[in-house]
Every structure is written in C-alpha cells, then in structure tokens.
Amino acid sequence: AQKITQTQPGMFVQEKEAVTLDCTYDTSDQSYGLFWYKQPSSGEMIFLIYQGSYDEQNATEGRYSLNFQKARKSANLVISASQLGDSAMYFCAMREAPGNTPLVFGKGTRLSVIA
C-alpha cells in the first residue's frame, strides 16, 4: 500500500493566488514526520516545511503553510501569493520512527504558475 498519496499530477495557479497541494499518508506509527520538498527542473530537492505528528499547531514557513489534519491523515501544502518561480514539482514525504529511516515520497504534483 502506498504510504504517501498525492492525487494531483498537475496543478495550475494564477500568479499571486494561493494554491493547495494535497497529500494523504498512511502509517500506524504514533511518531512520524511529514515533509514537503520542491524540485525545480534542475533536479535539486529543496526543503520547504516540516510537520511533526505531535505538533498541535500547523507549520508555517514564509509563504508555505501545512494544513495538518491528523484524524484524516492529510498534510496539504498551501502556497500563498504564488510566484512564477514556484513552478516546479512538489513532493510530500514521510519519515516514520525510529528516526534514522529514509523519507518515503509521494508521486509528486507539478505546479505551474501562470502570469
């Protein structure tokens, strides 16, 4: 079974608008971490935001926020005030306990920001 599901292969958003990228996850662990990474066409993986399973507040980092709904096992990424430079692939990932385990990635969502 897939541990990370991203159901949107591609999304379009108008510049300066907000966009939500969906992510649901599957785990039986109580302790886990959820991550979002951005991958531009160059291939590098850029860390955006992290949410811990025990965090009560939704994580925010600048224009990025994570809408964490634990009961629904969802961790959607919200990008506010989209910019042309936000066009890229976005991956949701999870790490389960114990801590030194690899990230498991979803299939990604390609975001295109339109001027």
Q: Which is nearer to another protein, 41 or 115 (CB)?
A: 41
Contact call for residue 85 and another protein (CB under 8 A): no
Distances (CA, A) of 39 to 2, 7, 53, 108: 21, 17, 24, 9
Quote helix, strand, coil % in the chain, to nearest 5.
5, 50, 45
Q: Which is nearer to another protein, 11 or 45 (CB)?
A: 45
Structure tokens at 34: 């959820």
Contact call for residue 90 and another protein (CB under 8 A): no
Structure tokens at 62: 């600048």
Q: Which of residues 32-51 bind another protein (CB under 8 A)?
A: 32-33, 35, 37, 42-45, 47, 50
Contact call for residue 102 and another protein (CB under 8 A): yes
Q: Which is nearer to another protein, 52 or 62 (CB)?
A: 52
Instruction: Find, among 93, 89, 103, the residue nearest to 44 by Cα.
Output: 89
Residue numbers at the binding site for another protein (CB under 8 A) = 31-33, 35, 37, 42-45, 47, 50, 52-53, 91, 95-100, 102-108
